[in-house]
Amino acid sequence: MREAVLYSNLKSGIRCDLCARRCVIHDGENGFCRVRTAKDGKLYTLVYGLLDGMAADPIEKKPLFHFAPGSSAFSISTSSCNFRCQFCLNYHSSHRKSPVGQKLEPEEIVHLAKKYDCGGITYTYTEPTIFMELAHDTASIAHSEGMFNTFVTNGYMTREAIDYIAPYLDAASVNFKGSGNKKFYKELMSVPKVEPIFESMLAMKEKGIFVEITNLIIPEVGDSVQDTTSMAKWVVENLGPKTPFHVIAFAPTFKMTHLPRTSAAILERHIAAAKEAGLVFVYSGNIAGHDYENTYCPECGFKAVERYSVYLGKNNLNKNGRCPQCDADLNISGVKWMIPGKGRFRLF
């Protein structure tokens, strides 16, 4: 065990201040995430350096389409999560009751990332908030080595947690499900409220963390176009119209195998709604070969980045990450890690 960060001692127990649940944990018990435990007046993390997932991925898989296009990221995770999504793709890890994994220290993780020629490290697969101490220490070393750090997160973290990781976090893919519908989150994800996610995105913007958003559309239970419109309008007003917005297709899994896969037609309705609300860069996900996987310049219409699924086909951006034809701003971040030309993970 490693002593945790960001906790408070209360008369009623120890309060964890990382996740927006702010669990009050009694001695000998674990928090909702199952990997933070109280003992003798202190809070401990049970997953420091205990990795149950790692791989070299294209950055587009996160998905991050506007951050360091064409680069690769060494992706890591630990067991468990602070959500209980009934449709989780990584349920074998996120729903574990006891953590498992390979023991690696932050220095070793950075070494592996460099060994596999990755431009940076992504904390993903399960929720990085629950292994924040490991993410923080690894990210600090990665930055000192000139590498980037990104989160793939449900956004359900405290302001204190964002302040803690912000000096080393370059970008975040904030993953919504069911367009942030409150009833959906409560009944199918065991999440009591959605407001902290929006508060987190505002805090990330304030701290200069580049944000992209995904929205998983699940037929029959989480496919309200009105909810997508409401979310898109919030993003336009608070984060800006050029914030990348990914509309993701659902595939039957875990406890929701009885539902159909999201069709291209359903996805296109949500894409149209997001664009109508004012978002400029709206993408499809999990429907390979769809034209909404590409980045087009909103000024001249030039295809600036070509993709197939989560793989880069060709990065046509100029050296400043702008449209090569008219020099329009396409809201590309992480340019210093960008790899122009044909992608290393090219499929076609």
**Segment 36-72, tens digit of pLDDT:** 999 999 999 999 999 999 999 999 999 999 999 999 9
The mean of the pLDDT values for the chain is: 96
* In the chain, domain spans: 2-45, 50-342
Q: How confident is the model at residue 200 (pLDDT cuts 50, 70, 90)?
A: very high
Burial class for 5, CB neighbours closer than 10 Å (0-12, 13-18, 19+): middle
* Tokens 């809201």 found at: 331
pLDDT (tens digit, 9 = 90+) per residue, 201-252?
999 999 999 999 999 999 999 999 999 999 999 999 999 999 999 999 999 9
pTM comes to: 0.97
What pLDDT score does 307 carry? 94
Residue 29 confidence class, pLDDT cut points 50, 70, 90: very high
Structure tokens at 46: 């049970």
- Per-residue HEC secondary structure of 146-191 comes to CCEEEEEECCCECHHHHHHHHHHCCEEEEEEEHHHCHHHHHHHHCC
Say if residue 10 is exposed, middle or buried (CB neighbours under 10 Å; 0-12, 13-18, 19+): exposed
Confidence of residue 291 (pLDDT cuts 50, 70, 90): confident
Instruction: Characterise 149 by phi-psi region: left (phi > 0), alpha (psi -120 to 50), beta (else).
Output: beta
CA distance 60 to 308: 10
Half-sphere exposure of 122 (CA within 13 A, CB side): 30
Q: Report the candidate in 182, 187, 184, 186 with the shortest Cα–Cα distance to residue 198.
A: 182
Q: Return the CATH fold of 50-342.
A: TIM Barrel (3.20.20)
Task: Give the model's confidence band at 345: pLDDT under 50 very low, under 70 low, under 90 confident, else very high.
Answer: low
- pLDDT at residue 149, as a whole number: 99
| pLDDT on residue 342 | 81
Q: Does residue 346 surpass a pLDDT of 50?
A: no
Q: What is the pLDDT of residues 6-28, one digit of tens each?
A: 999 999 999 999 999 999 999 99
Question: What does the alpha-carbon distance between residue 29 and residue 150 come to, in Å, rounded to a whole number?
Answer: 31
Q: What is the mean pLDDT of residues 119-135?
A: 98
pLDDT for 347 beyond 90: no
pLDDT tens per residue, range 319-344: 999 999 999 999 999 999 999 998 76
pLDDT digits (tens, 9 = 90+) for 158-172: 999 999 999 999 999
**Token code pair at residue 109:** 């993780």
The pLDDT, as a whole number, for residue 348 is 38
Q: What is the pLDDT of residue 344?
A: 61
